């Protein structure tokens, strides 16, 4: 009783927080959270970038191991097959083609048997860059990267090696309900920590024609004329309007995407040249190399170029001001020089304007 009387006698001291004090505390907490969350977001993006770079190194290591043993770049079908117009319908990408030798054992047409016939209730799939039977193989999608394989150059867990939803390809079997998010079977991709497939460009090393004998560093498709790289070899990603779990419209938002394509193909191929060309080997060809830009790569970054789309999940995202012609280009220029397009300075592939991660191998 005495303690109660004491508290009543000191009512002001026993009272709780006032409304003003509560508001001050809440404001301080809000300010601290406002400072903390962006820092956490930056740290999370940095961790995902580090993880993606490590994964790309795993891929390049597997590629180099294959090259040492086989004396060529991995890829079951030739780059000419992937770069042909037929593959725009099939949508087999360069990375998926490489995985046919790095991570699984495909069964060629001549060896097809009843027990590997694709069906809705099994894991076998029939794929290829065209509908010609000699351009088709069957693969067990459950066997990709399996340690039980006699030779598996690349082994990744199911969190990083799986089919990506939304790819423009005939190699995916969707649910009968037609839900694009309910992929039941498809060609696995190497998926980065941001949820997008790692894009691979593989140099066409097959004759006729060496890189110093061709007029085009990149071509939209292969049609009797050799080039180091063909855009169609990755059309499965670049024509997609809802790629990955975030359903990113690569066709519209990417500087390599199909909607960047114009009637002359100049802009799209200039961007691909800026991505795959090595800044260490420039050649001055005059104004014909690109829009107002005399520089032209005489060598690629490597025989293989890998790209992670980064935190924005777009392969070389368009500039914020799409009305500015310079925001529609990935520039190419020798190291230390400024890339120019439409009489304006434009960012190069390794500039901070893009968050894409690039690694190369060979060459």
d(CA 292, CA 178): 47
What tens digit of pLDDT does each residue of 10-44 get?
455 555 678 888 888 888 888 887 777 776 767 88
Q: Please report how many Cα atoms fall inside a 13 Å half-sphere around the Cα of residue 20, on the Cβ side.
A: 0
Q: What H or E segment, with its residue span, contains residue 98?
A: helix 94-102
pLDDT in tens, 70-86: 999 999 999 999 999 99
Residue 210's pLDDT band, with cuts at 50, 70 and 90, is: very low
In whole angstroms, give the CA distance from residue 300 to residue 293. 18
90 pLDDT above the threshold of 70: yes
Longest dimension (CA), the chain: 104
Predicted pLDDT at 174 = 55
pLDDT above 90 coverage of the chain, percent: 46
Binned at pLDDT 50, 70 and 90, residue 127 comes out as very high
- Structure tokens belonging to residue 42: 């930056």
CA distances from 139 to 101, 103, 104, 301 (A): 11, 11, 7, 31
Tell me the mean pLDDT in the region 114-128. Answer: 87
- Reported as a pLDDT band with limits 50, 70 and 90, residue 223 is confident
* Mean pLDDT, rounded, for 85-95: 94
Q: What's the chain's average pLDDT? A: 84
> If you write DSSP's letter for every residue of 257-285 in order, what string do you get?
SGGG--TT-HHHHHHHHHHHB-TTSEEE-
State the average pLDDT over residues 130-146. 88
Q: Could you give the angle at which helices 94-102 and 19-70 cross, rounded to 10 degrees?
A: 60
Nearest alpha-carbon partner for 117 in 139, 146, 149: 139
Question: Does pLDDT of 176 surpass 60?
Answer: no
Average pLDDT over residues 87-96: 94
> 263-292, pLDDT tens digit by residue?
568 888 989 999 999 999 888 776 555 566
pLDDT at 27: 85
How far is the C-alpha of 194 from the C-alpha of 229, rounded, in Å? 26
* Mean pLDDT on 232-238: 95
pLDDT at 3 over 50: no
Judge whether 201 and 276 are in contact, CB under 8 Å: yes
**pLDDT for residue 352 is more than 80:** yes
The band of 215, judged by pLDDT with boundaries at 50, 70 and 90, is low
Domain limits, the chain:
40-361
pLDDT band at 201 (very low <50, low <70, confident <90, very high): very high
Q: Which is higher by pLDDT, 19 or 314?
A: 314
Lowest mean pLDDT among 111-125, 138-152, 248-262, 337-351: 138-152
pLDDT bin (cut points 50, 70, 90) of residue 4 is very low
Most confident range (mean pLDDT) of 110-114, 256-260, 311-315 is 311-315
For residues 116 and 148, the model is more confident at 116
Specify whether the backbone of 13 is left (phi greater than 0), alpha (psi in -120 to 50) or beta: alpha
Higher pLDDT pick, 308 / 184 = 308
């Amino acid at each position: 009783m005495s303690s109660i009387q004491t508290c009543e006698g000191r009512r002001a001291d026993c009272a709780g927080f006032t409304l003003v004090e509560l508001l001050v505390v809440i404001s301080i907490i809000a300010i601290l959270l406002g400072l903390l969350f962006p820092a956490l977001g930056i740290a999370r993006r940095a961790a995902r970038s580090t993880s993606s770079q490590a994964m790309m190194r795993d891929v390049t290591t597997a590629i180099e191991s294959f090259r040492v043993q086989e004396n060529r770049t991995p890829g079951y079908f030739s780059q000419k097959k992937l770069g042909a117009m037929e593959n725009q319908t099939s949508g087999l990408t360069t990375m998926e083609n490489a995985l046919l030798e790095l991570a699984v054992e495909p069964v060629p047409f001549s060896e097809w048997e009843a027990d590997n016939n694709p069906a809705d209730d099994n894991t076998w799939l029939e794929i290829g860059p065209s509908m010609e039977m000699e351009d088709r193989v069957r693969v067990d999608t459950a066997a990709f990267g399996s340690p039980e394989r006699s030779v598996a150059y690349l082994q990744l867990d199911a969190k990083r090696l799986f089919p990506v939803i939304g790819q423009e390809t005939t190699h995916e079997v969707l649910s009968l309900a037609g839900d694009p998010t309910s992929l039941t079977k498809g060609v696995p991709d190497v998926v980065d920590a941001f949820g997008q497939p790692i894009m691979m460009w593989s140099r066409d090393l097959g004759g006729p024609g060496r890189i110093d004998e061709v007029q085009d560093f990149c071509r939209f498709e292969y049609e009797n004329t050799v080039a180091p790289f063909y855009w169609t070899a990755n059309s499965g990603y670049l024509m997609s309007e809802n790629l990955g779990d975030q359903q990113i419209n690569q066709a519209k938002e990417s500087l390599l995407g199909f909607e960047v394509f114009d009637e002359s193909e100049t802009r799209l191929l200039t961007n691909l040249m800026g991505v795959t060309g090595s800044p260490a080997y420039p050649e001055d060809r005059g104004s014909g190399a690109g829009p107002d830009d005399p520089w032209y790569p005489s060598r690629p970054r490597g025989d293989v170029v890998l790209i992670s789309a980064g935190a924005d999940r777009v392969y070389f995202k368009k500039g914020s001001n799409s009305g500015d012609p310079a925001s529609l280009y990935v520039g190419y220029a020798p190291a230390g020089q400024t890339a120019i397009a439409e009489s304006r300075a434009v960012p190069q592939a390794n500039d901070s304007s893009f968050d894409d991660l690039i690694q190369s191998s060979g060459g």
